[in-house]
Amino acid sequence: MNVITPHGAASLTPLIATGQRLADLEAESATLPSITVSSAAAANAVMLGAGYFTPLKGYMNRADALSVATDLKTTDDLFWPVPVLNMVERFDGNVGDRIALRDPNVDGAPVIAVMDVTGIECLSDDDMTLMTREVFGTNDPNHPGVATFNAQGQVLLSGPIEVLNYSYFQSDFPSTFRTAMEIRDEIESRGWKRVVAFQTRNPMHRAHEELCRMAMSDLNADGILIHMLLGKLKAGDIPADVRDDSIRTMVDHYFPENTVMVTGYGFDMLYAGPREAVLHAVFRQNAGCTELIVGRDHAGVGDYYGGFDAQTIFDERVPKGALEIDIYRADHTAYSKKLDRVVMMKDAPDHSKEDFVLLSGTAVREMLGQGIAPPPEFSRPEVAKILMDYYQSLDQ
């Protein structure tokens, strides 16, 4: 039996339909009025279906959305860090309608969920400004998460859903996409009790690899869940299939057997920094993990967040007891030339900047694009090869 319970419930509450219920819904959905939702709303449906958003039953209404944005809780006092919404540009139906939601990310826009519409509300510009500022910490339209959030429309449809499928995630990433239920089952089958989650939307360099080892050692954990985002990213980020290949290669070469699970989840990146870090904690708790590594600028982008804002939010905005999962706080990690190993920089006060192998993301991308492997202290050669092939393919 797993040692950590899901968030806000005794057991997971996945909204995925199976068996006869799925067949009935598929037949019914063909007779229902339908709308094509945003990629963000489709990703929310996937997360609701896969149990990661336990104990939610569907999309939030305006009151819950504003309450979550400002106070990190629903009007029923459920702790929740980010509004889970279905915003559209227009809707011609009525409260009480039952509608099919179509997936914008799959050819032919098949039905991804069936929704009972319990609310239709027009969000004001002030509502949008408030939610944007609270969730993303900025209203700057150049912030990729802000731009995506505000492009969906301001008609808010709320109500419970039943999910028919996991969009493109199961077919495109069959060996990596896993539901919260599947991860819990595998943790149990491996006999793990203490499990540390590592969130990533990027390939893992030596510093990330060692950070997982440090956390596992410090916490005396049984295993690491490397849990990668498989959904939409901003322009310039490395695609999920390349990232998947590089992470699996690193684990196969450099971690002992039965210490790492490589998995992924179907969600679009918000780039919401601290708020997204708390959301990451919620769905890692639902997946059965006991700790989440929160590093420097976790889920951040650009210079919108302070280096450790994603850690301090757990002290300042997460009430005691609101989450069962604990946070493993990581500093910037880098390879020390003096010590000949990766260290947390805060643990090496006698070092100067020159004592570390430090490379900017831009510098690494330029090297890889030119077919030059970063130094082995920065990136494993097997991983560098995969990334070099990818970046050089962009120039073909």
Q: Which domain holds residue 324?
A: 176-394
Q: Do 65 and 159 belong together in one domain?
A: yes
Residue 119 banded pLDDT, cuts 50, 70, 90: very high
Residue 324: pLDDT over 70: yes
Give the amino acid at 34: S
Q: Please state the rounded mean pLDDT for residues 306-325.
A: 97
For residue 62, give both structure tokens.
């305006």
**pTM, full prediction:** 0.96
Check residue 76 and give its pLDDT.
98
Name the pLDDT band for 83 (thresholds 50, 70, 90): very high
Domain count, the chain: 2
Mean pLDDT over each residue of the chain, to the nearest integer: 96
Q: Which residues, in sequence order, are CB contacts of 249 under 8 Å at separation 6+?
A: 380, 382, 383, 386
In this structure, the answer to whether residues 153 and 182 fall within a common structural domain is no
Q: What is the pLDDT of residue 1?
A: 52
Count of alpha carbons within 13 Å of 225, Cβ hemisphere only?
37
The residues annotated as belonging to the active site are 201-202
- Under the banding of pLDDT at 50, 70 and 90, the label for residue 276 is very high
pLDDT digits (tens, 9 = 90+) for 195-235: 999 999 999 999 999 999 999 999 999 999 999 999 999 98
Query: Is 12 part of any domain?
Result: no
Task: Check whether 360 has a pLDDT greater than 90.
Answer: no
- 240 and 277 share a domain? yes
- Closest among 347, 389, 190, 201 to 280, alpha carbons compared: 201
Residue 2 pLDDT exceeds 70: no
> Does residue 142 sit in the same domain as residue 261?
no
Mean pLDDT score, 183-194 = 97
pLDDT (tens digit per residue) in 138-165: 999 999 999 999 999 999 999 999 999 9
- pLDDT of 67 strictly over 60: yes
User: Is residue 362's pLDDT more than 60?
Assistant: yes
What does the pLDDT read at residue 261? 98
**304 vs 300: CA distance, rounded Å:** 7
23: domain CATH number? 3.10.400.10
What's the Cα-to-Cα distance from 135 to each of 59, 67, 132, 138, 187, rounded to whole Å? 17, 11, 5, 8, 32
Q: Which of 150, 170, 190 is the last residue of a domain?
A: 170
The band of 236, judged by pLDDT with boundaries at 50, 70 and 90, is: confident
287 & 389 share domain: yes
